[in-house]
């Protein structure tokens, strides 16, 4: 009798569904491996746990006819002045080619309908972690929905989305910076609110990471604009604007903190808007005679790219570049 029951369970041919694989019977195979162990197989290998390790992949959006809105009303489009659409497109393409020349994969967001004029600022739309992406929720009404197209492309690329912000949370990816492999610092201010920080803190805690929060000065856009990390022990900070808590946290982690000759002018904003390609190697805006020598004095190799037309949109190389993957420690 027992042999008959065992045989029926094994074969699933007992006249019903009990014992079949769909219900946990013979043929059922339990999923093996944790979420992070599935990177490189089920999920892509795209991860980030630093701001300075070798850059492997980026996400961008090539600006197009949506920029026409910036010509008719720059203020409504959150831009500084009208752009030359053709020149802006050419400069963006040149930036993408510069990434390719540096061995970086370049992936494009391709919205299915007319995007907002700010869609090209991909750094704001998500931020990568050691185990997937945090999807942003841009603060400006004109930018509402940009994250949808970023999410679709991330999914196509096999990037897991750890958290989609809900409620009244607003968050832009340029407000989060990795201080070390397990510590992210978030700037609370114009674009990122406390509701978002609470949700991000919970999401990062679930993957074993800590979140530190600092307040940004009134009248600033993003945390990225006052802090860039060029190497495991070198941070570039905007003088008299970077929060003291940020500097102390960097110093506690072994960073040397240096300040370029920043003023409230276009050159200074452009100088801070660089992307770290690898240890002491950056892609920066071309034509900044006060700043490139300063960076080079710190032992930083500079890859200058002309993006002055894109600067009219109130952003530059750092804002235009969504960081998808760097070499990671783990």
Summarised one tens digit per residue, pLDDT across range 217-271 is: 999 999 999 999 999 999 999 999 999 999 999 999 999 999 999 999 999 999 9
Percent of the chain scoring above 70 in pLDDT: 95
Identify whether 36 is part of a domain.
no
Identify whether 4 is part of a domain.
no
Residue with tokens 């032992």: 299
Identify whether 30 is part of a domain.
no
CB count in 10 Å sphere of residue 90: 13
- Does pLDDT of 2 surpass 70? no
Contact between residue 177 and residue 223 where contact means Cβ atoms under 8 Å apart: yes
Each residue of 264-310: pLDDT tens digit? Answer: 999 999 999 999 999 999 999 999 999 999 999 999 999 999 999 99
Average pLDDT in the chain: 94
Tally of domains within the chain: 1
193 compared with 78, residue with greater pLDDT: 193
Identify whether 151 is part of a domain.
yes
Identify whether 161 is part of a domain.
yes
Residue with tokens 């892509």: 44
CATH number at residue 154: 3.75.10.10
Question: What DSSP letter does each residue of 29-46 carry, written as one string?
Answer: ----S-TGGGBTTTB-S-
Which structural domain range is residue 157 located in? 45-326
Identify whether 304 is part of a domain.
yes
Identify whether 29 is part of a domain.
no
* Residues in a beta bridge with 278: 281
Identify whether 31 is part of a domain.
no
Residue with tokens 């102390």: 248
């Amino acid at each position: 009798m027992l042999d008959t029951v065992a045989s029926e369970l094994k074969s699933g041919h007992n006249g019903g569904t009990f014992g079949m694989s769909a219900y946990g019977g013979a043929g059922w195979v339990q999923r093996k491996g944790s979420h992070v162990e599935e990177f490189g197989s089920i999920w892509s290998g795209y991860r980030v746990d630093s701001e300075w390790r070798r850059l492997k992949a980026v996400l961008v959006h090539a600006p197009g006819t949506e920029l026409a809105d910036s010509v008719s009303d720059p203020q409504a489009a959150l831009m500084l002045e009208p752009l030359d659409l053709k020149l802006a497109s050419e400069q963006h393409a040149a930036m993408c080619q510069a990434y390719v020349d540096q061995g970086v994969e370049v992936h494009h967001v391709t919205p299915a309908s007319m995007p907002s004029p700010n869609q090209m600022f991909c750094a704001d739309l998500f931020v990568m972690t050691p185990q997937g992406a945090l999807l942003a929720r841009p603060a400006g009404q004109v930018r509402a929905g940009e994250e949808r197209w970023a999410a679709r492309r991330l999914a196509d690329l096999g990037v897991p989305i750890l958290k989609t912000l809900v409620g009244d949370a607003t968050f832009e990816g340029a407000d989060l910076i990795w201080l070390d492999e397990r510590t992210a610092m978030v700037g609370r201010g114009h674009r990122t609110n406390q509701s978002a920080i609470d949700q991000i803190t919970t999401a990062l805690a679930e993957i074993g990471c800590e979140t530190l929060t600092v307040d940004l000065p009134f009248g600033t856009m993003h945390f990225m604009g006052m802090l860039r990390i060029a190497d495991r022990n070198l941070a570039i900070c905007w003088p008299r604007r970077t929060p003291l808590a940020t500097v102390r946290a960097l110093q506690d982690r072994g960073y040397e903190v240096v300040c370029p000759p920043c003023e409230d002018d276009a050159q200074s904003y452009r100088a801070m808007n660089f992307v770290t390609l690898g240890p002491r190697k950056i892609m920066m805006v071309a034509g900044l005679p006060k700043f490139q020598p300063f960076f080079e004095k710190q032992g930083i190799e500079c890859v200058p790219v002309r993006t002055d037309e894109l600067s009219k949109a109130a952003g530059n190389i750092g804002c235009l570049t969504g960081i998808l993957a760097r070499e990671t420690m783990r």
